[in-house]
């Protein structure tokens, strides 16, 4: 498990650096204060609250109600990740808003019991709050979806991206319009197109006038490929310098530890552990 976490951290950091470039160290999961604070916060939340979170219910339904304790308490670990650095604003997708409400409640509950200590963080939502599955536009796009055609990955080849958009679920009307309730499949493509080009939805629809959905799928695929191309190039470049990645991960862990340790120590004092 520890080795898996390190490999995952390395991969995540490589991806983050490809998006933002530069060598600034980023915090990594290799900081024990995250799990320490998570356990303390888990003592402040009741079991039914966690069981009513929609992601828990959705994931356990897929697993035939055989969810693990780790899955159940994962939102508390997320809360610890946020509160440990006294974050004030957190960029999230729409599917994480409920988890952010838990973070806010935990911060407020802790402050009420032990005095003002944690800021109550606010959610920052982007204009595209949720990307829908290409195969089921009623569900969100998820990397854990068993249908590999449902999700587009940044590391997918251009051929894979084209194939996935060709297979995207639409309907029997060929015109490109934006109507999430009546035409969820086509509307999802329009939303993706708008997100990767930076254009308003209305402008995307206007520019697609006269185009049938078969051609439009290829247009969206091309836009996605173009958007991902520089990120993929940077990823490949970073992967060639593993020593540099290791050094930045180590520096990131040290910086995160420097920030997290005094906060965690103060929490332990407040709750009576020290």
For residue 109, the surrounding DSSP H or E stretch is helix 97-114
Catalytic residue among 132, 140, 164, 217: 140
Joined together, the tokens standing for residue 261 give 């340790």
User: In Å, how far from its chain's centre is CA 157?
Assistant: 21
Work out the widest C-alpha separation in the chain, in whole angstroms: 70
What is the distance between the alpha carbons of residues 10 and 238, in angstroms, rounded to a whole number? 11
What is the distance between the alpha carbons of residues 80 and 70, in angstroms, rounded to a whole number? 14
SS3 label, residue 27: coil
Catalytic residue among 8, 57, 59, 130: 59
Joined together, the tokens standing for residue 112 give 């009420």
What is the distance between the alpha carbons of residues 195 and 197, in angstroms, rounded to a whole number? 6
Catalytic site residue 143?
yes
Catalytic site residue 140?
yes
85 close to 267: Cβ distance less than 8 angstroms:
no
Which residue numbers are catalytic? 59, 140, 143
């Amino acid at each position: 498990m520890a080795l898996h976490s390190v490999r995952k951290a390395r991969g995540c950091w490589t991806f983050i650096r490809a998006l933002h470039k530069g060598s600034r160290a980023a915090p990594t999961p290799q900081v024990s204060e995250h799990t320490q604070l998570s356990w303390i916060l888990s003592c402040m939340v009741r079991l039914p609250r966690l069981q009513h979170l929609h992601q828990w219910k959705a994931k356990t339904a897929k697993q035939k109600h055989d969810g693990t304790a780790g899955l159940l308490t994962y939102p508390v670990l997320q809360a610890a990740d946020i509160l440990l650095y006294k974050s004030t604003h957190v960029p999230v997708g729409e599917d994480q808003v409920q988890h952010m409400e838990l973070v806010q409640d935990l911060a407020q509950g802790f402050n009420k019991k032990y005095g003002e200590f944690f800021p109550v963080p606010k959610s920052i939502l982007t204009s595209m709050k949720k990307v829908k599955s290409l195969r089921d536009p009623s569900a969100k796009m998820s990397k854990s979806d068993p249908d590999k055609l449902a999700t587009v990955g940044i590391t997918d080849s251009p051929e894979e991206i084209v194939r996935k958009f060709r297979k995207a679920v639409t309907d029997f009307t060929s015109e490109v319009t934006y109507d999430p309730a009546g035409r969820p499949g086509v509307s999802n493509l329009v939303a993706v197109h708008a997100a990767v080009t930076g254009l308003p939805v209305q402008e995307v629809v206007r520019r697609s006038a006269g185009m049938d959905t078969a051609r439009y799928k290829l247009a969206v695929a091309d836009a996605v490929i173009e958007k991902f191309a520089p990120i993929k190039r940077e990823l490949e470049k970073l992967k060639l310098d593993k020593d540099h990645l290791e050094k930045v991960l180590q520096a990131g862990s040290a910086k995160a530890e420097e920030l997290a340790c005094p906060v965690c120590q103060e929490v332990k004092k407040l709750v009576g552990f020290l």
